[in-house]
Structure 1
């Protein structure tokens, strides 16, 4: 399992996010029986950039903390390299990471890991639009994050 990191902002999470996100992806892979050759992209953005993405692609005219675009949601997407399976892209608002960590009273590391995990589960087809779906997704999220970023 691989994560490709891109930054569209100089403001990055203040922890070893490469190691933490890889740990989360591997643990999610074990819990959900995912293929080992999956790849996703994480793009770090600022509030203005995620606001624009949210407005242009989701018709929601405000910034948010994380947005996921799953490759399997668009049937026109094809895999260029057969040995890799692209899950999609996770856009993380780095300012929201800090603001929400402060608001919820936990570490920046914990909030950053939570947002990555949440976005990853969306890429894997999980959602929280109904109470039943929310219970399933949030339970899995809790299991994945346990002992990874509990602080």
Structure 2
């Protein structure tokens, strides 16, 4: 089954094209290899500053917009599938991909940060996507050591696809 990317666009300031989605899928696959994650689904949603501000306030208690939010899913669907589907003898159910979690990216923030850092919007969105994915896997940046580890992993994967600063 592999790693799967599902995406949704809930903003109007940037047209999200297939080229960007394909790039993000490549980044997901490379990050999966680097982290030994071979299966799962990541849900990505593009939003504006207003939407991410509300999510940041409601879920993190921080009353301002941010660039990316991640919500990890650690629950198994096995028990629910057994209840919902009654299988005939000998019948097998294709299990859905394990949901790794949701990544929400503010396109408004990404555009500002790309200008501020002097690199492409593709690079900034790729960076934010990888950052969110690593959070889904349990990485954090609460101290200098863990921040350096996350940054190193993100930059290594971005370099593999030529998204340098």
| TM-score in terms of structure 1 length | 0.90
- Asked if the contact 2:46/2:105 (under 8 Å) is kept, the reply is yes
Q: Is residue 70 from structure 1 mapped to residue 72 from structure 2 by the alignment?
A: yes
- Asked if the contact 1:101/1:108 (under 8 Å) is kept, the reply is yes
Runs (5+) with no aligned partner, structure 2: 82-94
Aligned residues: 146
Query: What is the aligned counterpart of 2:134 among 88, 112, 121?
Result: 121
Give the secondary structure class of the aligned counterpart of 2:139.
coil
Structure label with greater radius of gyration: 2
Give the secondary structure class of the aligned counterpart of 2:21.
helix
- Asked if the contact 1:14/1:109 (under 8 Å) is kept, the reply is no
CA distance in 2 between counterparts of 1:106 and 1:141 reads: 15
1:8 Cα offset (Å): 1.3
CA distance in 2 between counterparts of 1:48 and 1:41 reads: 20
| TM-score in terms of structure 2 length | 0.82
Corresponding residue number in structure 2 for 1:141: 154
Kindly report the root-mean-square deviation, in angstroms, between the aligned alpha carbons of the 2 structures. Answer: 1.6
Corresponding residue number in structure 2 for 1:98: 111
1:10 Cα offset (Å): 2.2
CA distance in 1 between counterparts of 2:65 and 2:152 reads: 26
- Asked if the contact 1:12/1:94 (under 8 Å) is kept, the reply is yes
Query: Deviations 1:42-68 (Å, cap 9, x if unpaired)?
Result: 001100000000000000000000000
Runs (5+) with no aligned partner, structure 1: none
Give the secondary structure class of the aligned counterpart of 2:109.
helix
Corresponding residue number in structure 1 for 2:21: 18
CA distance in 2 between counterparts of 1:56 and 1:43 reads: 17
CA distance in 2 between counterparts of 1:115 and 1:138 reads: 11
